[in-house]
A = this chain, B = another copy of it.
Amino acid sequence: MDPVRIIEIKESIFADNDAEADRVRGELKRDKTFLLNLMSSPGSGKTTMLLRTIETLKDRLRMGVMEADIDSAVDAETVAAAGVRSIQLHTGGMCHLDAGMTEQGLREIGTEDLDLVVLENVGNLVCPAEFDTGAVKNAMILSVPEGHDKPLKYPLIFTVCDVLLINKIDVLPYFDFDMEKVAEYAHMRNPKLQIFPICAKTGEGMDAWCDWLEQQVKDWNR
């Protein structure tokens, strides 16, 4: 296998990020490519979840993955080994991606022949939520060990996301995590938020999530 391509992305030159994000979405629409922005805390299981999603969807959709990380190319190598096009974006210490930075990645991965690109954002519940990347939909993962109070403490990310994956439900018996409360708190922030309880490790709940994602991609790309 060829080594994974590492792109050092530069700080964005655009003053108006929202306008730039809309422009990125316009180009994605033209190319019939769906961009999913995936956010979470460090260690909530983004990469494991992505690997399962690739396994399920790679024969149904032409997929690509952009791994954003401050350092290392561990995740991009793992994803490339799963058989989809993958690049690593190095943010040079930046804690988030904005639309201009995302566009640099999209240009490198090439969107013309892809139906779905997933951007794995930097692990952080705060800063990534503040910047529209140009994605068609925003998804976040909250894992059971992080606690059900997170929508109270990190309100913005729950507000800007379209879908919330609650991961590591296999360890529910060992944590004080209230599934009803997390849904209640999250819906206070965003009544339209879709919630899928999953276990990326065992695959539980992944079919419902993959079906939802495939439908979103089809609706956008038709």
What's the Cα separation between A95 and B127 when bound, in Å? 7
Q: How many Å from the CB of A158 to the closest CB on chain B?
A: 11
Find out whether the CB atom of B69 lies under 8 angstroms from the CB atom of A153.
yes
B95, B130, B147, B174: the one contacting A174 at CB < 8 Å is B174
Interface size (A, Cβ < 8 Å)? 35
Question: A30: shortest Cβ distance to chain B, in Å?
Answer: 33
Each complex incorporates copies of this chain amounting to: 2
Q: CA separation between A92 and B155, bound complex, in Å?
A: 12
Q: In the complex, are the beta carbons of B145 and A168 less than 8 A apart?
A: yes
Tell me whether A154 and B95 are in contact in the complex, defined as CB-CB below 8 angstroms, given that A126-B127, A174-B174 are known contacts. no
A143 to B147, CA, bound (A): 12
> Restricting to A77-99, which residues have a CB under 8 Å from any CB of B?
93, 95
Which of A69, A71, A153, A155 has the most B CB atoms < 10 Å from its CB? A153
Q: A69-B153, A70-B156, A144-B145 are in contact. List 13 more A-B contacts (CB 8 A).
A: A41-B41, A44-B146, A70-B154, A93-B130, A122-B126, A123-B125, A123-B154, A124-B124, A124-B125, A124-B126, A127-B127, A145-B146, A145-B168
